[in-house]
Structure formats: structure tokens, C-alpha cells
Amino acid sequence: MPIQKSEAIVLRRQDLRETSLILTFYTKDFGKIKGILRGVRGARGVCGGGSLEIFAHDEIVFYDRKKSDIFTTSQCDLIEFFNPIRRSLEKLAYAAYMAELLDSVTALGDKNERVFDLLLNSLKLLSGEASSRRAARIFEIKLLSLLGIMPTLESCANCGGKVDASAKFSVLQGGLICKNCFKSDENAHTIMQGTVKFIEHIRALPFEKVARIKVASAVGKELESALRKFLDYHIERRLKTLEFLREIEKV
């Protein structure tokens, strides 16, 4: 691969020896990539101004290393640092969660420009007035939808039959299940129609419109718990940022 340039958002940062770093980026043009940056920790660095911090929005220049899926990153210029997020412990925790969630559900090299835009828009939303919780729920639903792992809500996820208000939410079956299929998952739980409608709304509407949707707190709570269970089922590793979020929310 010749020298490449792309917009990118930092998902993860790992120190490497004394002066180098490995950053995981979600790039606009190449999907998730890992880049090594040499000589950046310490007095003299090629990339300054906060561009190496988690969820920084950068423009990066990188090129191939022989026999490795880690690219050499030669330049990393900051576009947006998201100061309002970094000034709030709560917003910071949510942004770190979004970055870790995206990292955990995507593979290296899977390009999806809409996923990049979703992360960028979600960080912008979180930077503004919107509640952190709402920004996180929108991010989760849109992400599941873009990755094609959205729960089935329009018909029974087990038999394909009609679903009505009595339907339960089954993580195991991957969506709503009808009365006849309750026995297929004993852990399925009831879900309010308002919650189902909210998910469908978020999925269907463009991002600019979803940011303004108001949600009743009962729906918000149920939604958070249903999405949490659904995501936990799909993600193998435990997210460290989630534990941090829970700690903050207790305060």
C-alpha cells in the first residue's frame, strides 16, 4: 500500500516501549486500522496537540509495514479535540465507552464510512447539550443497525409470526418473540411498546433528527437495560469503560 491519508478517530491507545505508541483508529476511508507511532512520547514528537488522545478526530498519514497488519503512522494532525467532553467526567466516560464498543464489534480493515460518520456525529452530540445517556442509546441503536445485528422487532424472531403488545424481548432469539414462542427463551422479558417504537424511530430517522427526540424516563431505563443485555450477548469481552460508567452513575 502506498502512502495513505484519511480522517480518523482514535479508539484506543497502547504504549509501546519507551517512546512509541500503537493507536487503534477508526478511519473514514479504510475502516479500523492499527498504527504505530515512533518517538512520540517524550520531548520530541511528530504528532502534537492532543491528536494521540482517545476519541480525538484527526487527519492521519500512514503506510504499509512489510509482514504486519500494523501501519506506520507518519503524521497525525488534530481536527477536533472535543473539549466539552474532556471537561466532564460523565461525558468522558460515555465517549470512552462509544470508542471501546466500536472497537469491540468491528474487525480490522472493515470499511464503513457510515460507521465513521456515526461515531463522529455521536461525539459532536455528546459535546453539546444532549444528555449523555441519550447520545449513547442513539449510538448503540444506529451502530447495531449499520452492522446488521439489530434485534428483530417487526415479527417474531423465532417463528416469523406476528407480534403484538404481549411480545417479549429475547436476547437469545435476537428480538421480539410471540406468545407461542415464549418457551423458546425462559429469560425473555416484557418490553413496553413505547420502547420498541423508540428503537424503530431511531433506526429509521436520519441522525440530525434523532438527536431531538424526547424520551420518557421509563422508556429510557428499559431501553438501556434491553440494549445492554443484547450487546453483552454479542460482545465476547467485557468492556472496561462500562464498569467505569456504572461507578460514575452511582455518584
State the nearest-atom distance from the C-beta of 186 to Zn ion, in Å. 15
Question: Does 178 participate in binding Zn ion (rule CB under 5 A)?
Answer: yes
End-to-end CA separation in angstroms for the chain: 49
Which residues, at least 6 apart from 240, have a Cβ–Cβ distance to it below 8 Å?
100
The set of cell numbers assigned to 248 is 460514575
**Closest of 120, 111, 39, 117 to residue 73, by C-alpha:** 39
Q: Is 169 helix (H, G, I), strand (E, B) or coil?
A: strand
Q: Select the span of 13-21, 137-145, 171-179, 231-239 touching Zn ion (CB under 5 A).
A: 171-179
Q: Which is nearer to Zn ion, 60 or 176 (CB)?
A: 176
Which residues, at least 6 apart from 144, have a Cβ–Cβ distance to it below 8 Å?
150, 151, 227, 230, 231
DSSP code at position 109: T
Number of residues engaging Zn ion in binding (CB under 5 A): 7
Cα–Cα distance measured from residue 13 to residue 54, given in angstroms and rounded to the nearest whole number: 7
Q: Select the span of 7-15, 39-47, 177-185, 240-248 touching Zn ion (CB under 5 A).
A: 177-185
State the nearest-atom distance from the C-beta of 170 to Zn ion, in Å. 10
Return the H-helix or E-strand segment holding 114. Answer: helix 113-127
Question: Does 162 participate in binding Zn ion (rule CB under 5 A)?
Answer: no
Q: Residue type at 231?
A: L
Q: Which is nearer to Zn ion, 84 or 161 (CB)?
A: 161
State the nearest-atom distance from the C-beta of 203 to Zn ion, in Å. 21
Interface residue with Zn ion, options 159, 213, 216, 248 (CB under 5 A): 159
Interface residue with Zn ion, options 161, 189, 213, 218 (CB under 5 A): 161
Q: Select the span of 179-187, 198-206, 209-217, 221-229 touching Zn ion (CB under 5 A).
A: 179-187
Question: Does 153 participate in binding Zn ion (rule CB under 5 A)?
Answer: no
Cα–Cα distance measured from residue 137 to residue 131, given in angstroms and rounded to the nearest whole number: 10
DSSP code at position 152: B
Question: Does 84 participate in binding Zn ion (rule CB under 5 A)?
Answer: no
State the nearest-atom distance from the C-beta of 240 to Zn ion, in Å. 37
Interface residue with Zn ion, options 24, 106, 122, 158 (CB under 5 A): 158
Q: Select the span of 6-14, 15-23, 170-178, 191-199 touching Zn ion (CB under 5 A).
A: 170-178
Q: What phi, psi does 13 have (nearest 5°)?
A: -140, 125
> Contact positions toward Zn ion, by CB under 5 A?
156, 158-159, 161, 178, 180-181
